[in-house]
Structure 1
């Protein structure tokens, strides 16, 4: 594409059309030039006009600055002060405005000739500035599941737990808290009499400590009953990962285990009728099941192999 500078004829035509209230795009179409060219010309013309207006209105003030300013002994502030003292009735501006003129090249004083020279180049950064994402990973306890490390997905070490609740009848506060190890598929069931988040948090923490359950991370859904579970995660020194809404597949082991629990406690049954001893019996039966995924070994067998050998 060939680029051409606007000649005097084109500039005069732009001025006439602009005074007739033509838009920049209309002017461009009329003269067969880009509307961006019209915009740049009018902007430059406006800037030049403002510069001329400044030179005309503050002629005496600017001349005084140019004659008396010396960055070594007579600063801009001193010149402005003296001019206002000697010529109180002549138009003048503030020191800050003079610096604006200098930065915008509206008067014949360069930025390089001022007392405090403006430094150009990249803004200095603090050494060791911490990456925001890394800071979250290192310092926050509750994180979204997208920040869960990839090694947890491999399921090659026990201690990474998934936690969910199994509800009973509608409008009933009783529920069952199910905890599943992602690696061994061992399940623990806890009876909960209410849904208060702090009650649930204390209940889970107490059960984990009393049963000496190994915990390296916790994954839960966004249920209100788990809003305070970050307290337990913090006290145990692990990370709590929150699943995305309506994404139960992100806790697949937990959902599968809950389906097996439903074989013993069908939907619609009141959880108030279920005792903790019965839940322990259900957990034992599920953990003693032969599973095809483990070559028909049980979850207890897999847990024992990890305890003794550290690998399958």
Structure 2
């Protein structure tokens, strides 16, 4: 087998598995890597505060950039990347179509910013990308029994089956009330609920209430690290599901959720106090999003794809 360098996502998985108490050999087995690869990664990329995935990625990229065999970005490639940035394409979207990595794009954007340039203004998430969070320490508390996303079955990534959900909360003005957003990964079918406070009790009750009618299509749930999801065990027992948690500050691991959040914000901007949101309004938003044709679904709607999964079971029966 030809050796390939560790990816940024694998580095976040290593970090999460270390935190969960796994040995280097166990991590290697879970990532389908040779144990020496994990050992070398930890030896080369640990800092004073231990192994941190973002730091490890930057150290690796710095070594690659200084290598005499490092690829150079062609001027025409960077020109096209800048054109797409101006159209507010994300670095990840640009890297999917051009021979340039998204990290290389970010590096050039922030180098341009330090030189007084304005490329950074085209980023949709300008604050989150390089913000430092207490020198790498989590500020969000401890979630008992937290199951890291590194342990989630690889089949979930393929989006080949309906039944794998992502969960998040949106906060309104005043930060006193919230909207629970549950989105199914394959279909994009979303469910919304209003909670008067973002406690783990209120959020877990809302999740169980929303998903219970579709219990047959709930296999896994993936959350961020908010303490409102601390009662994931109760959710799993009620729905017979398995919950996982994304790595800290790795919102791309819940891309379906994040995309849906952006669509919801068109109707419920951050300046909106959520105590003014009615159930009728939430129903209208769900109806519009779930019945909007999507290109990635072959112009079917999320509702069509989600409901067809029940029809297939009935036909097989």
Q: TM-score, normalised by structure 1?
A: 0.52
For residues 1-49 of structure 1, the C-alpha deviation after alignment (integer angstroms, 9 at most, x for no partner) is xxxxxxxxxxxxxxxxxxxxxxxxxxxxxxxxxxxxxxxxxxxxxxxxx
Q: For residue 303 of structure 2, what is the aligned residue in structure 1?
A: 300
Q: For residue 261 of structure 2, what is the aligned residue in structure 1?
A: 258
Change (3 A) 1:211 1:154: closer
2:164 is the alignment partner of 1:150: no
Q: For residue 169 of structure 2, what is the aligned residue in structure 1?
A: 165
Q: Give, in whole Å, the separation in 2 of the partners of 1:177 and 1:238.
A: 18
| 8 Å contact from structure 1 (residues 141, 233) kept in 2 | no
Write out aligned runs for 1:1-312 (5 A).
142-170=146-174, 172-210=175-213, 214-309=217-312
| 8 Å contact from structure 2 (residues 212, 239) kept in 1 | no
| 8 Å contact from structure 1 (residues 142, 230) kept in 2 | no
Q: For residue 13 of structure 1, what is the aligned residue in structure 2?
A: none
For residues 137-162 of structure 1, the C-alpha deviation after alignment (integer angstroms, 9 at most, x for no partner) is xxx97410001000111111111110
1:176 counterpart SS class = strand
Q: Deviation at 1:166?
A: 0.6
Stretch of structure 1 that moved more, 299-308 or 271-280? 299-308
Q: Give, in whole Å, the separation in 2 of the partners of 1:211 and 1:144.
A: 25
| 8 Å contact from structure 2 (residues 187, 297) kept in 1 | no
Q: TM-score, normalised by structure 2?
A: 0.51
Q: Deviation at 1:306?
A: 2.2
- Name the Cα RMSD after superposition: 2.5
Q: Between Structure 1 and Structure 2, whose CA radius of gyration is higher?
A: 1
Q: Deviation at 1:230?
A: 2.2
Structure 1: give runs of 5+ residues left out of the alignment.
1-130, 134-139
Q: Give, in whole Å, the separation in 2 of the partners of 1:262 and 1:282.
A: 10
Q: Give, in whole Å, the separation in 1 of the partners of 2:228 and 2:216.
A: 21
Q: Deviation at 1:237?
A: 2.1
